[in-house]
Amino acid sequence: MTTVRELVERYQAKASLQSYGSVYQDTTEFMNIGYGDVIALGGRHYLVLRDEAERRFGMEDPKFWVKRCTELESGEKRILKLVFHERFNMKIGDMEVPCYRSPEKEARILDMTRGDPRFMQGFSLPDSAGNNVRVIEVVFGKRLDLAVDALDCDHPTYFAEHFPGILANFIEACEAIAFLHGKGERHGDIRRDHLFRHYDTGRYVWIDFDYTFDGSANPFGVDVFGLGNILLFLVGKGIHTAQSLAETPGGRELLSRVAPQDYSVMYRYRIMNLEKLFPYIPGPLCRVLQHYAVGSEVYYESARELLDDLRPCLDGLRAA
């Protein structure tokens, strides 16, 4: 039988890990589990390399309950998400929505989407204390927003040459969310940095499904809002705000055409009516975005409704 020491010696990180730390079967005290420790779970051993972190607004936000690991039996990289029940307010514009972190929900979605390349893959199992640990495969890809940012071209070129393909993939990503909604599930945290473009396939992959909230009048509203935000970013090759336009004479001239009803219903400085900035964007696509604007009288209630309007936009772009 292979010992943990032998496994560590075979797969230890290239950094100088002279000896491994503690072996944990109970992950309740996740703050104590760090670099060099080993989590034993389901007959496998996961060598902890570091805590994962999110970089938002220029700040590094460590997630102590999410461990980047090497699975010692296979040498594969894995992310272990440990149980951390958290309640906080998700701030969207001026509104605050009570939000919860649910390991059970994420585990359920992992089961539901197993083998579906539109979602991150993994499984869950209990540790020795019954904590629901999710073992996640690392997505081999790049954040979609960073991939779009990295395209070195002006907006007309981007829109003509890159955007149709991006929209086709984004529609598939929206289909994935509609699939969840059809099963009564929500993604819960749809943001630009939770959608990756796979390096090999180019397909878009959703990550992180552990947020949930209590909402019955419009159960999928937060997801639908998130999709609109990403769409705005993709169509505009970035977010365009009153502040960013005001920085240049040309921008100020464009800003003079923007009316109050053209701004986002949630973020009153974001311009949703991109037709005012990029007149070559087809009307139907602009109208989809305007469903998220102050001037709209009707909002999308589901990803399906958004898709019904979005698919003809792609057809139109391809025919043009």
Partner 1 sequence: MNGKHILVAVDGSQNSLRAADYVGEVVRGGPGFHIELVAVLVPPDRDIFPDPALFQAERDTRARDAAQALETAREGLLGKGMDPAIIGTRTMSCLDKDVAGTILAVRGECGCGTVVVGRRGLSKAEEFLLGSISSRVARHAKDFTVWVVG
Interface residues with partner 1 (CB under 8 A) are 85, 87, 92-95, 97, 100, 102, 104-105, 184, 212-219, 221-222, 225, 265-266, 292, 294, 298-299, 301
To partner 1, the closest distance from the beta carbon of 265 in angstroms equals 5
What is d(CA 112, CA 106) in angstroms, rounded to the nearest whole number?
10
At its nearest, how many Å lie between partner 1 and the CB of residue 278? 24
Instruction: Find the shortest distance in angstroms from Cβ 164 to partner 1.
Output: 28
Whether 248 and 254 have beta carbons less than 8 Å apart is answered as no
Judge contact between 125 and 107, C-beta under 8 A. no
**CA 222/CA 132 separation, integer angstroms:** 25
To partner 1, the closest distance from the beta carbon of 99 in angstroms equals: 9
Q: Look up residue 309 and give its two tokens.
A: 């309007």
The pairing of beta strand 87-92 with beta strand 95-101: antiparallel
Residue 295, both tokens: 């001037």
Q: Are 193 and 143 in contact (CB under 8 A)?
A: yes
Question: How many Å apart are CA 29 and CA 84, to the nearest integer?
Answer: 10
Q: Tokens 């399906």 identify what position?
A: 304
Closer residue to partner 1, CB minimum distance, 102 or 241: 102
CB of 258 to partner 1, least distance (A): 18
Nearer to partner 1, 178 or 222 (CB): 222
- Distance in Å, CB of 26 to partner 1, minimum: 17
For partner 1, give the closer residue by CB, 15 or 217: 217
| Measured CA distances, 57 to 120, 145, 147 (Å) | 24, 14, 18
Query: What residues pair up with 48 in beta bridges, in sequence order?
Result: 69
DSSP structure class, residue 29:
S
Q: Which is nearer to partner 1, 169 or 241 (CB)?
A: 241
The residue among 126 and 316 lying less far from partner 1, judged by its C-beta, is 126
Backbone angles phi, psi at 300, to 5 degrees: -70, 140
Nearer CB in complex with partner 1: 222/230? 222
